[in-house]
Amino acid sequence: MAVKVQNLSVAIIGGGVMGVGLGRRLIDSKIVSSQRLKVIVRRPQQAAKLRQQWQLNATVDRHKALKNSAAIFVCVKPQDCNQVLEQIKKDQALKHNPLLISIVTGASIASIQRSLGERAHIVRAVPNTPGLIGAGITVCSFSNKVTAKEKQLTQRLFAAFGDYLELEEDHMDTITGLSASGPAFVYVMIEALADGGVMRGLPRKVALRLAAQTLLGGARTLLETGRHPADLKDDVTTPAGCTIGALLHLEDGRIRSVLARGVEEAARIASSLAPEEKPGRKEVRP
């Protein structure tokens, strides 16, 4: 049976890129009603800004907002995570057993349990920024207290961000390197492809549109047909044609290993971002 979410209260701690984006998506997708969604921030000016600019029910009154919330999202940077967990503990906000959903990069379920106790119902999630327009993918893993119904609730909530997967927590750093950092790699690819068109005389705007739509179309074709990328590539490569000529050029530039190593490097760095191990770190994004 589908989990009814509209009647549930949801709190989001952190009104930054992801917290605001998630809040808006949950409301715009009619998954959570706007009256039942609260965004908790730490400055009154920030609350006023989110109310005015994003029509979000933003507040600095953490205690009141957390009380009775069925799901609490933690959307702060790794260096702020421990303080937020301490506040949750101090407020006794888990007394009624809400689902605690953390999107904090590097914050393991075990580290959150160390702050909040073994009995907490914890979800560790890795979303990505295309989720802000509903075209993302979120991967979740769960602490052993999370029930099947709570897993359904998690899936329903992240449907606001797009596609959804559940995987073992061991993979989370790799997922951060691939799908959370990945949009940045894609933007660089789009810009580079467009540069090629601009070099040949296309207006920048046209070149960007062609490049972006080509990436989007390629990705959709792969997902919708289920065909292997090598097979799809062969459809485009006429013997002795321009595409195979260009592909050999790209292979000379080691395009595959550069991209694969990029993911590996992002995953390696993600694995060193555990909040409790780098308390003084200033800026940490996937």
Ligand X SMILES: NC(=O)c1ccc[n+]([C@@H]2O[C@H](COP(=O)([O-])OP(=O)(O)OC[C@H]3O[C@@H](n4cnc5c(N)ncnc54)[C@H](OP(=O)(O)O)[C@@H]3O)[C@@H](O)[C@H]2O)c1
Binding mask 121-160 for ligand X (x = CB under 6 A): -----xxxx-------------------------------
Pick the binder of ligand X from 12, 13, 122, 137 (CB under 6 A): 13
- For ligand X (CB under 6 A), the number of binding residues is 29
From the list 80-88, 113-121, 210-218, 253-261, the region that binds ligand X by CB under 6 A is: 80-88
Positions 109 through 128 that interact with ligand X (CB under 6 A): 126-128
d(CA 57, CA 165): 29
Binder of ligand X out of 76, 263, 267, 274 (CB under 6 A): 76
Q: Per CB under 6 A, does 77 bind ligand X?
A: yes
**What Cα–Cα distance (Å) separates residue 164 from each residue in 135, 140, 159, 167, 237?**
11, 8, 7, 10, 33
Residue 126 beta carbon to ligand X: minimum distance, rounded to whole angstroms: 6
Q: Indicate whether 182 belongs to the interface with ligand X (CB under 6 A).
A: no
37 binds ligand X (CB under 6 A): no
Name the nearest CA neighbour of 70 among 105, 104, 31.
Answer: 31
Binding of residue 103 to ligand X (CB under 6 A): yes
| Of 43 and 205, CB closest to ligand X | 43
Q: Where would I find the H helices in the chain?
A: 17-28, 44-54, 62-66, 78-90, 109-116, 148-158, 172-175, 182-199, 204-225, 229-236, 242-252, 255-270
- The footprint of ligand X on residues 204-263 (CB under 6 A) is none
Q: Smallest distance from the beta carbon of 178 to ligand X, in angstroms?
A: 12
d(CA 193, CA 187): 10
**Angular region, 3: left φ>0, alpha ψ -120 to 50, beta rest:** beta
Please give the DSSP secondary-structure letter assigned to residue 241: S
> Pick from 8, 32, 78, 266: which binds ligand X (CB under 6 A)?
78
Per CB under 6 A, 64 contacts ligand X: no
Q: From residue 194, how far is each of 60, 205, 215, 241, 255 by CA, in Å?
A: 44, 9, 11, 21, 17
Residues in touch with ligand X (CB under 6 A) = 13-19, 40-43, 46, 75-78, 80, 83-84, 103-105, 126-129, 180, 285-286
